[in-house]
Amino acid sequence: MPSTEILDALNADPSVQRRLRFANCVLRIETGDRRWLLALRDGKVASAAADETADVTIRIAPEAWAAFQQPVPPPGCHDIYAMAETGRADVTGDFLTLFRYSYVLKDILQQLATGRMFG
């Protein structure tokens, strides 16, 4: 479950708000023993109910997550698509939803990993 600070930061960012305007999906992000289940609805990011089914699930290897958290991540760990391409992440679910909300997903991952927005 993401912290209130992370959700507040995402929901206060105008860029995220613009990208979330029509969002309606549930994302599951997992790395090691950390799990986030997020509902993107009505222009907001919120914690989803534990029994909700994710539209998209992203499982990131712990070492790739640690590398992604660095100020300048190494090649192959700088982006969810690079992690998936190099076998460091597994992405399953509805790929239309994944690509439709790709930019907001990247913002969410950045905020979860570092507490910083892409800008």
Residues of the chain with pLDDT under 70: 1-3, 116-119
The predicted pLDDT at position 13 comes to 82
Q: Facing residues of 34 across strands?
A: 31
The predicted pLDDT at position 78 comes to 92
The predicted pLDDT at position 119 comes to 47
The predicted pLDDT at position 97 comes to 94
Q: What is the largest distance, in Å, between two alpha-carbon atoms of the chain?
A: 36
Question: Is 3.10.28.10 the CATH classification of the domain at 4-114?
Answer: no
CA dist 56 and 25 (Å) reads 8
CA dist 44 and 67 (Å) reads 28
Burial of 59 (0-12, 13-18, 19+ CB in 10 A): middle
